[in-house]
Amino acid sequence: MRTGKELRDIFLEYFKEREHTIVKSAPLIPADPTLLFTVAGMVQFKPYFAGIEEPPYKRAVSCQKCLRVGGKASDLENVGKTIRHHTFFEMLGNFSFGDYFKRDAIVWAWEFLTETLKLDMNKMYVTVHESDDEAYGIWQNEVGLESNRIFKLGDKSNFWGPAGGQGACGPSSEIFYDLGVEFDNMPGKCTI
């Protein structure tokens, strides 16, 4: 079993090896007037995604301190009800500013989990937005997942953002790891 620090360091190093610049966590109180707190790893990069500022790098990786206690991204109502919701957490994220897109993001995420962390690929399931045939095809044809392990879901589950009232947003893809039958009756269990 790895510690949180070990996982953080392995993640940052993995993407550093793929030419990402390691960027320190931004403050919990963002410079963004649309947000009370930093709620996601991409908050500090919003000016780059919006084209307001030129990014000083094409690729970034970070471990962002996040606080979710209100608003659209709030986890407050689920704290204590599930094993995965907290008000404060550190979000690991890799970002591209016009340098790569879905294919590399998906393949690198899968390689990180299966090759670097050595997680059992047979216990993983993936979700994509119901309209995102491109991501579905990458998961099926390039990663090699069977269609019964890829789920197409709607906006509530697989459409990200924006962080604040406006900004970067779009279809998302998520990876779920089946912890086994002993977790089947836990409150908040993902039932995809």
pLDDT tens-digit readout, 29-51: 999 888 888 988 999 999 999 99
Q: Name the segment(s) of the chain with CATH classification 3.30.930.10.
A: 1-100
Residue range 126-137, pLDDT digits in tens: 999 999 999 999
The yes-or-no verdict on residue 114 having pLDDT over 90 is yes
Q: What percent of the chain has pLDDT over 90?
A: 66
User: Which residues touch 10 (CB under 8 Å, ≥6 apart)?
Assistant: 2, 116, 117
Q: Which long-range contacts (CB under 8 A, 24 or more apart) does 75-79 make?
A: 78/188
**Superfamily of structural domain 1-100:** Bira Bifunctional Protein; Domain 2 (3.30.930.10)
Q: From the CB of residue 129, how many other CB atoms can be counted at a distance below 10 Å?
A: 20
Q: Between residues 87 and 110, which one has the greater pLDDT?
A: 110
Express each pLDDT in 153-184 by its tens digit: 998 888 887 766 667 788 999 999 988 887 66
Taking 3-state DSSP, the helix, strand and coil percentages for the chain, each rounded to the nearest 5, stand at 30, 20, 45
Mean confidence (pLDDT) of the chain: 89
pLDDT of residue 173: 95
Q: What average pLDDT does the segment 86-108 reach?
A: 94
Containing 10, the helix (H) or strand (E) segment is: helix 4-16
Q: Taking Cα atoms as reference points, which of 106, 4, 17 lies closest to residue 61?
A: 17
